[in-house]
């Protein structure tokens, strides 16, 4: 059973304590506060790391990603950024930050679904971590997502290579700046299917990319209007 030291400067019989005893009691009170805070932090970390391990298993992530996410969460805890926020949301946001840091092509939507948190809340916490911890994230490249989308959609290497050429051409013509990399990658994969006469719908690609069909449609429309491709991309176009 734990013993709590009260704030009154009296002994158990209600008698005033001496000045020397008062100093000892004050030191004990200070240690009690430290132990209480330490215990709270430890409980917080245990809960957060358990949740992180569950997410890692669901998303089949390597250990170094989880270690980076743990490091980011500890920094947030030290800066008192977790107070008043759901631990599960912060740890999921830290995991997404770790994925971005290592350029692992997993989307915010995937992490949100695995954690059971809303994409909106997760995005808000992610931005908060980036801002308050001064995290430097590499820019996401749509090329990173092409292989996964093609694999998920059951498409062969020919489609994958064509989609990559479409993205490179779009980058060369400065059409990708400020655009969602996953949406661009999905649109390029669908565009490649159209050019190669592979029967896949926008819905098929949207499901494979874990984004909305509307996103695929809008990004494809933009790419096709600007690139105006009627046949597979020729290497000469990329070398101009």
pLDDT of 1 strictly over 50: no
User: Is 211 a member of any domain?
Assistant: yes
End-of-domain residue from the set 133, 154, 171: 133
Tens-place pLDDT, residues 101-118: 999 988 899 999 999 999
115/202 same-domain check = no
Tens-place pLDDT, residues 9-26: 444 444 454 555 555 546
User: Which residues have CB under 8 Å from 217's CB, separation 6+?
Assistant: 202
Please state, in angstroms and rounded to a whole number, the distance separating the CA atoms of residues 206 and 49: 32
CA-atom Rg of the chain in angstroms: 26
End-of-domain residue from the set 110, 133, 156: 133
123/147 same-domain check = no
User: Is 9 a member of any domain?
Assistant: no
Work out how many domains the chain is built from and give that number: 2
* 16 strand-pairing partners: 10
75/127 same-domain check = yes
Please, which pLDDT band fits residue 138 given cuts at 50, 70 and 90?
confident
Tokens of residue 191, six digits: 């565009």
End-of-domain residue from the set 79, 98, 133: 133
The single residue listed with the structure tokens 């092409």 is: 146
- pTM for this prediction: 0.70
User: Is 11 a member of any domain?
Assistant: no
185/113 same-domain check = no
**Segments forming the whole domain that contains residue 207:** 143-239
Tens-place pLDDT, residues 185-206: 999 999 999 999 999 999 999 9
pLDDT at 47: 86
User: Is 138 a member of any domain?
Assistant: no
Percent of the chain whose pLDDT exceeds 70: 83
Of the candidates 123, 105, 113, 92, which has an alpha carbon nearest to the alpha carbon of residue 209? 105
- Whether the CB-CB separation of 116 and 131 falls below 8 Å is answered with no
């Amino acid at each position: 059973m734990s013993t709590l030291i009260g704030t009154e400067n009296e002994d158990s019989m209600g008698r005033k304590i001496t000045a020397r005893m008062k100093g000892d009691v004050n030191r004990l009170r200070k240690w009690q506060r430290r132990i209480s805070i330490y215990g709270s932090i430890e409980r917080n970390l245990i809960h957060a790391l358990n949740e992180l391990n569950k997410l890692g298993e669901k998303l089949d992530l390597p250990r170094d990603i989880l270690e980076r996410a743990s490091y980011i969460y500890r920094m947030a805890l030290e800066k008192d950024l977790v107070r008043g926020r759901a631990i599960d949301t912060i740890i999921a946001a830290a995991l997404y930050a770790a994925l971005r840091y290592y350029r692992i092509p997993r989307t915010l939507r995937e992490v949100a679904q695995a954690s059971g948190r809303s994409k909106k809340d997760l995005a808000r916490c992610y931005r908060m971590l980036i801002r308050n911890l001064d995290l430097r994230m590499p820019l996401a490249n749509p090329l990173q997502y092409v292989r996964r989308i093609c694999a998920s959609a059951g498409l062969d290497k020919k489609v994958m290579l064509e989609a990559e050429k479409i993205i490179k051409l779009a980058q060369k013509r400065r059409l990708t700046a400020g655009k969602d990399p996953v949406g661009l990658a999905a649109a390029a994969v669908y565009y490649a299917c159209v050019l190669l006469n592979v029967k896949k719908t926008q819905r098929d690609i949207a499901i494979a990319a874990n984004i909305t069909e509307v996103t695929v449609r809008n990004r494809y429309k933009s790419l096709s209007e600007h690139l105006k491709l009627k046949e597979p991309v020729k290497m000469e176009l990329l070398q101009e």
